[in-house]
Amino acid sequence: MLTIDPQSDLAPLVGTTLSPGAWFAIDQARIDAFAAATVDDQWLHTDPVRAASGPYGRTIAHGFLVLALLPALAASALAISGFTSVINYGLNRVRFPAPAPVDSRVRDRIALDSAESAANGILLTLTHTIEVEGQDRPACVAQQIRLLKR
């Protein structure tokens, strides 16, 4: 795990990929809870019986559920400490190349794209590749910007 604090010299790490984070299970209860919270109850996500005869043979996680897991997934690969705040500044690009089937495990592989000085802090650009155990293609690739305030 990489730890970033206000004294970290990030320049040598720009362009590198960190060790992957821990595996995280996506079960039907989590998918159903996300569907309820977002009022997105499409059968592909919430109806195991119907999904069994659908394109993936079972339910799949919402793409936005996988995206919403970024903070939890990233926390096992990247620690940020010693700043007054860490702000999710936004996303430049998000893609969902492959599904994350129910009962699969996912993990985050983070690439440090840039670390720039900003007013009272550091602006990090990170590419998160959310891998699905046993699949060649990731469930999500998202370029995130985080503002680390001193």
How many other CB atoms sit within 10 Å of the CB of residue 100? 26
Q: 105-134 pLDDT, tens per residue? A: 999 999 999 999 998 899 999 999 999 999
Q: Does the pLDDT of residue 24 top 90, yes or no? A: yes
Percentage, residues of the chain above pLDDT 70: 100
Backbone angles phi, psi at 35, to 5 degrees: -60, -45
* Mean pLDDT (the chain, rounded): 96
Specify the number of domains making up the chain.
Answer: 1
Helical H segments across 24-122, by residue range:
28-38, 43-46, 48-51, 63-68, 70-74
CATH number at 116 reads: 3.10.129.10
Q: What is the mean pLDDT of residues 83-102?
A: 97
Domain range enclosing 132: 13-25+64-149
Instruction: Determine the residue type at 116.
Output: E
Residue 54 lies in a domain: no
Exposed, middle or buried: residue 31 (CB in 10 Å: 0-12, 13-18, 19+)?
A: buried
Residue 131 lies in a domain: yes
Question: What is the DSSP pairing of strand 2-4 with strand 104-118?
Answer: unpaired
